[in-house]
Amino acid sequence: MKKLLLLATVISTMSITLNAQNCNAVFFNQDGTRFHVVLNGILQNINYETNVKVTDLKFEGSYKVTINFEDATQASITKSIYMMDNNTEYSFEVMKNKKGVYVLRPLGMVAIAQAPTTPSQSVVVYSTTPPPTIVSAPAATTNVNITETTTTTTTSGTTGNQENVSMGINMGGVGMNVNVNINDGGMNTGTNVQSTTSQTVTTTTVTSTSTGSYNDGMTTNPVYEAIPVDAPSGCYQAIPVSDFNAGKSSVEKQSFADTKLKVAKTFTKNNCLSVTQIKEVIGLFSFEDGKLEYAKFAYDYCVDKKNYYQVGDAFTFSGSVDELNEFLESK
């Protein structure tokens, strides 16, 4: 009996593990502007949509998102997103900021089992290969070449004009040559018709080339990887774990909020931190205003600014998240 229970537990655990490795990402717009979603350089939805759900994204995968609008006057959006929790659906809103420019803003996350359904939503499974490209056949062309030659002949005292007309016609790969001899003396009229048919087979190769580098979505983005950025402080690599833990400990030992903030700023100013490390320092503050002030200060010393939106997870109130997002949009 114990063996049966153990076997059932193992099977149940394996089932949960196998079914808890994927995530969804929802991209939507509320003002009716339609768009394409491109993940890691691959188009996901063939038609322009206002609400797109991409399923089967790998847990702990980093994805480069590009939003291309149907309205060509709108600039595309490019941003990196990161799947932090398995079996989770992440929502991102395509919206205009205060400057009237479209941005991609993280809205929330919910367990896939509890995710709401939207009738007008386009649901696609994440694809790593581009959709088929439809190439239209070239229109048939018609070329008509006409050559006319007039000669004068004399036969038994009778003078007449003879016209030789040569016509070449090419229609959609089918060629025809017509030669017409006309004697206006009423004696001879000859018509020679030559018809030729040819077939041309054209092979069209469409090549897509993208430049740049990004995570393929299948591997985990290291927390302390070296990422070149254009930070004023020249940060290119996060501080080693041992040094970070020492600095974090110094901040944690401070009893007063003002002193803790000063020590945190000094520590950060002399080092370079990742988004994960910055979130850990924010967690040392008890009050929301201290968290927000430090988050704004630490931005210039972050090595992976593309993921800085994740810092909002360290706040307690949504108002602080909104203020941080406004700060990031001003950068």
pLDDT digits (tens, 9 = 90+) for 8-64: 554 554 444 444 468 999 999 999 999 999 999 999 999 999 999 999 988 677 889
Altogether, the residues listed in the chain come to a count of 331
Residue 237: which of 302, 309, 308 has the closest Cα? 302
Q: Between 159 and 331, where is the model more confident?
A: 331
Task: Report strand pairing: 42-43 vs 51-58.
Answer: unpaired
Is pLDDT larger for residue 140 or for residue 216?
140
Using 50, 70 and 90 to split pLDDT, how confident is the model at 236? confident
Q: What is the pLDDT of residues 168-215, one digit of tens each?
A: 555 444 455 545 454 545 444 444 444 444 444 444 444 444 334 333
Pairing of strands 102-111, 122-125: unpaired
The pLDDT of residue 164 is 54
Over residues 218-247, mean pLDDT: 62
Statement: residue 134 has pLDDT above 70: no
- Listing DSSP states for 186-241 in one string gives SS-EEEEEEEEE--------------S----SSSPPPTT-------TT---SPPPH
The model's confidence at residue 224, banded by pLDDT at 50, 70 and 90, is very low
Which residues share a beta bridge with 233? Answer: none
Q: What is the pLDDT of residue 85?
A: 79
pLDDT the model gives residue 151: 45
